[in-house]
A and B are shown apart, each in its own frame.
Chain A
């Protein structure tokens, strides 16, 4: 239908929940277009039919009831969109994260995304604002044993395909909005209010992380790379990053 046709312009849907979210968009566009276009046809006919003509007396006004069909159609359409499409998809996303997910902490700042990985021990080391320096933008406390194998990437997020990834989001300064267009992930990152979201990529590929909330003069360039790799490539990437930590 009309909505599916419009959806061809969306960024490639590449996560497990993308198809469902896209179908909500398609449904709203289809409903909206049907109502709007049928209304437009009626409107156009009326503009011609009821134009003032010399010597022609105006006709009778419309009946009291039949035009309310339009209102009924909109009510039914709204209920259908909410109950049949949007809310089920919305609540499905609120379910707990499946087991075995990869975890990344994402720390936004003017105008960069920092990605903190827990390393092979799967535990995030402590971070402290007072340890923040230009070289360590998130202030990892290396005295914490859990921090020993942690590594930080600036400007590139790498995740495995076909496995859920949980992103724990926080901001150092102002509100940012973590955006993975192809994953249908967008989450405001408000300082002081850490929040998590998750997604499961279903194809490998190279896309981008964006910022969707005005965060200052460099907002337009707050972009990072986003790589979805096979599980083997991802494990090799983890091993490579950890080996760099221990290298002199």
Chain B
């Protein structure tokens, strides 16, 4: 317990736990991708592993399939990517990058981790409940989620715990950035990664309470007979539902997306911060127009709080209101484009070193770009109507988060592994990992855009077997699934690299000759981080001075 109050131990604990959940989320995906590729075909060992209720005769039942889908989304977002991008990278590198000896409120930080761990174990364990884990999608729309089996109750309790965890972590990180900066480290001298973490923490702090409230309401609707989200006159399976009614299911959607849209930026902003650090160090360049980028990241975070209802354009809201959200949604592309443009233009005139870290950071840019561009038709009413709830949406947000944020997390691992361990990851294995991940991820997600345009809906247990319009796409699914399997194999290469290099990798202090503060101490940093408190006299990126 006491050791978790050290920010480096805390960061490594977050990274390890989030890594385990990433594998869990990935395996859930492989299971439902099997079902999508070969609907109804038995998996030989499935009954032995998942039991008669989930997979009789090795065939995954819809009951089980919808648990896999809901939990893949929940695990990946709440238990894997956010804890990795915020909990692990934020806790470990924010204090180092600002020349601090640790986090402010270290006990809050530690409590945040323990709550996250408990919530994660609880949510994962809900698979063994009668009726299994939550099965109403990661969005948990009522009334479906309220009449769902008991896994949903555990999901709600888990979300409540994760919300508290995120807020504790956010307070700790924000206080650290405000109060613990080294002498001379003014706000406009902060590494961009620190800015991205500050905005992320602010978003978590402001947006999560909305979902906290909503989760309590939904929990009460499930266990205490209230009707916050249940209207009068419901009849399920032709039997009137014994509830008082008078509630509104759309209220949940507003509260949910008020968190869940900013949550997307919680996934993206730290990734942009990482890419900024990696690109500057590996192209020997200061960030192009640092001040403009800081303005853009603040604007992007703030603006992300007024676009939430673009997820709800087809709920029947008035044309005026939906127009408002279409306009705010289009406007969000402006700070996004400023950030992406600045990152790319930073390369201008540089000396790009094609390390694995740099390859992943560079690949992030077009992958994120594709995710952003495909957000345009989804943000506009008429084209949203055509594509809403199709595979196009899945392609869109996975390009932002899978080859997007995940690539940034890989870049961060290759870039900062020497900082944490004092040894480099192997570059040859890294190259295999990069090329393999790049090719297979695109092979999985690119066809989804076309499937969506053809009208194939998401969340189909049988991949759309019942629908005429899905017929031509059924044959694509096996290829996508094989690529997902191959993607897993390439991640094994990554894991082997981590385990092997931690013991046997080439020793390195600052292999990238990076100029940000985290490299101004030994690798790994000693207790207290800096032998002497550093004094900052200039900008974070000073690559042009050295002549590279």
Q: Do A and B come from one complex?
A: yes
Residues on A lying within 8 angstroms of B by beta carbon are: 6-7, 9-11, 20-22, 24-25, 28-29, 31-33, 35-36, 39-40, 42-43, 46-47, 50-53, 56-62, 64, 67-68, 70-71, 74-75, 78, 81-82, 85-87, 89-91, 93-94, 109-110, 129-130, 132-134, 137, 172-175, 177, 179, 181, 184-188, 190-193, 195, 207-208, 210-221, 223
Ranked nearest first, the 8 interchain pairs of A and B with the lowest CB-CB distance are: A192-B231, A59-B349, A62-B348, A86-B380, A32-B373, A52-B351, A90-B381, A195-B316
Q: Which of B28-44 contact A (CB under 8 A)?
A: none
Known: A82-B326, A82-B327. A210 touches B236 (CB 8 A): no
Contact at A110–B141, with CB atoms within 8 Å? no
Q: In the complex, identify which listed stretch (B216-224, B418-426, B449-457, B483-491) lies at the interface while the others stay far away.
A: B449-457
Contact at A137–B382, with CB atoms within 8 Å? no
Q: Which residue of B lies closest to A40 (CB)?
A: B366
Q: Which of B365-402 contact A (CB under 8 A)?
A: 365-366, 369-370, 373-374, 376-377, 380-383, 385-390
Q: Which residue of B lies closest to A186 (CB)?
A: B385
- Counting CB contacts under 8 A, is B344 at the interface? yes
Known: A51-B354, A53-B351, A110-B236. A9 touches B385 (CB 8 A): no
When the two chains form the complex, which single residue of B143, B289, B314, B450 contacts A191, counting CB atoms closer than 8 Å?
B143
Contact at A11–B454, with CB atoms within 8 Å? yes
A70 CA / B365 CA spacing, docked (Å): 15
By size class, the interface of chain B is 35 or more
CB distance from B235 to the nearest CB of A (A): 5
Contact at B386–A184, with CB atoms within 8 Å? yes
A172 CA / B136 CA spacing, docked (Å): 18
- 22 A-B residue pairings within 8 Å (CB atoms): A9-B450, A9-B453, A31-B376, A36-B370, A40-B366, A46-B348, A52-B548, A59-B350, A61-B286, A61-B288, A71-B341, A129-B240, A173-B143, A175-B249, A188-B315, A190-B250, A207-B468, A210-B467, A214-B137, A214-B144, A217-B66, A221-B466
Q: Which residue of B lies closest to A134 (CB)?
A: B238
A213 CA / B348 CA spacing, docked (Å): 46
A109 CA / B350 CA spacing, docked (Å): 61
Known: A28-B377, A78-B330. A208 touches B469 (CB 8 A): yes
Contact at B388–A86, with CB atoms within 8 Å? no
Q: In the complex, identify which listed stretch (B101-109, B162-170, B331-339) lies at the interface while the others stay far away.
A: B331-339
A74 CA / B369 CA spacing, docked (Å): 13
Q: Which of B205-227 contact A (CB under 8 A)?
A: none
Known: A172-B235, A190-B250. A177 touches B314 (CB 8 A): yes
Contact at A81–B330, with CB atoms within 8 Å? yes
A218 CA / B500 CA spacing, docked (Å): 47
- Counting CB contacts under 8 A, is B534 at the interface? no
Contact at A71–B326, with CB atoms within 8 Å? no
Contact at A52–B352, with CB atoms within 8 Å? yes
Contact at B232–A192, with CB atoms within 8 Å? yes
Contact at B323–A172, with CB atoms within 8 Å? no
Contact at A82–B316, with CB atoms within 8 Å? no
Q: Which residue of A lies closest to B336 (CB)?
A: A74
Contact at A22–B144, with CB atoms within 8 Å? no
Contact at A25–B341, with CB atoms within 8 Å? no
Known: A47-B362, A193-B316, A220-B466. A215 touches B383 (CB 8 A): no
CB distance from B54 to the nearest CB of A (A): 13
Additional pairs, 4, CB under 8 Å, beyond known A57-B547, A78-B333, A174-B144: A21-B383, A52-B354, A186-B386, A220-B460
Q: Which residue of B lies closest to A48 (CB)?
A: B352
Known: A25-B382, A210-B467, A223-B466. A71 touches B338 (CB 8 A): yes
Q: Which residue of A lies closest to B137 (CB)?
A: A214
